[in-house]
Amino acid sequence: MILSILQYGDPILRAKGKRIEKIDDRIRELAVNMIETMHAVHGVGLAAQQIGEALQLTVLDVSQVEDRPSTMKLNGQNVDPVAEMPLVLINPEIELRGETEVGVEGCLSFPEISGDIERPKSVVARAQTLEGDNVEIEASGLLSRVIQHEFDHLYGILFIDRMNSAAKAALSSRLRRMQEETRRGKRIRPQEQQSLVTETTL
């Protein structure tokens, strides 16, 4: 089932996600619906907060983005990231590694907005899968960026918080307008949104 995505201004996007103690049918159904929703809008990641659930749950899929490669190690072994997608990360913890780099990001909760965000090049994420297994993922490239962006969502941190002040100032009137629309009850319907998103919406 394709879910509505919350737009900037909704307080749930600022909520810290609750730890998932038991991976039951509700969580499994939620994850499946989140993957379906992410694919419907050609996004590369979606966090539970974005569909209205403040939980430590995110889904990712970088397999359709050919011009921004990723590397991935799964439990210490080099793997083809494309073959491992989509990923479901439950209760993730991350460790940031390496120098920082600047890359363009968008966000499904911010239609038509993108910006340069500086983040560490590599990340190690430890999380549970939908099957309840513990996994360790080491990533660089786009996958590293997506993991960091989604991890932020799980703690109520949004990509605009990581923009430099000039970029944020330039967007301030659009952000205000978006908050106003959200207050009036606007939700993003993925079916209508498709034409607005780019390959870098996370």
Query: Which listed residue (6, 62, 163, 202) binds Zn ion by CB under 5 A?
Result: 202
Q: Which is nearer to Zn ion, 139 or 202 (CB)?
A: 202
Of the listed 101, 150, 180, 181, which one is catalytic? 150
Q: Give the C-alpha distances (Å, rounded to integers) separating 186 from 5, 14, 85, 98, 145.
A: 10, 17, 31, 40, 28
Q: Write a three-state SS string for 151-168.
A: HHHHCCCCHHHHCCHHHH
Give yes or no for residue 38 binding Zn ion (CB under 5 A): no
Whole-number Å distance between alpha carbons of 110 and 201: 9
Instruction: Tell me whether residue 150 is one of the annotated catalytic residues.
Output: yes
Q: Which stretch binds Zn ion (CB under 5 A): 78-86, 102-110, 168-176, 179-187?
A: 102-110
8 Å CB contact between 17 and 34: no
x/- map, 112-151, Zn ion, by CB under 5 A: ----------------------------------------
Query: Which listed residue (107, 127, 137, 143) binds Zn ion by CB under 5 A?
Result: 107
Whole-number Å distance between alpha carbons of 39 and 117: 23
Q: Which stretch binds Zn ion (CB under 5 A): 20-28, 99-107, 122-130, 176-184?
A: 99-107
Whole-number Å distance between alpha carbons of 45 and 149: 8
Q: Which residue is nearest to Zn ion (CB)?
A: 107
Which residues contact Zn ion (rule: CB under 5 A)?
107, 202
Active-site positions read 150
